[in-house]
Amino acid sequence: MDVREIQSINLAKILKEPGSASADGIIREAIEAGEARFPLEGEAEWSVTVSSAGDEYWLSGEVHGTVMMECRRCLKPTPQRVDAYFQHLLEYHPEVEKLTLVENEDDEDVYHFGEPDLDLSFFIAQAFSLAMPYTALCNDACKGLCPVCGADLNVTDCGHVQADAVPGALAELGKFLDEV
Per the CB < 8 A criterion, the answer to whether 118 and 58 are in contact is no
CB-neighbour burial class of residue 22 (10 A; exposed 0-12, middle 13-18, buried 19+)? exposed
Helix (H) or strand (E) holding 4: none
Contact residues toward Zn ion (CB under 5 A) are 71, 73-74, 76, 138, 142, 146, 148-149, 151, 158, 160
For the bound state, the minimum distance from the C-beta of residue 147 to Zn ion, rounded and expressed in Å, comes to 8
For the bound state, the minimum distance from the C-beta of residue 138 to Zn ion, rounded and expressed in Å, comes to 3
For the bound state, the minimum distance from the C-beta of residue 162 to Zn ion, rounded and expressed in Å, comes to 11
List alpha helices for 85-136, DSSP H. 121-131
| Alpha carbon distance 173, 18 (integer Å) | 66
Task: Report residue 85: phi and psi, to 5°.
Answer: -130, 145
The Cα-based distances of 115 to 23, 93, 123, 148 in angstroms read 16, 8, 15, 55
89 or 146: whose CB is closer to Zn ion?
Answer: 146
1 or 141: whose CB is closer to Zn ion?
Answer: 141
For the bound state, the minimum distance from the C-beta of residue 150 to Zn ion, rounded and expressed in Å, comes to 7
44 or 136: whose CB is closer to Zn ion?
Answer: 136
33 or 136: whose CB is closer to Zn ion?
Answer: 136
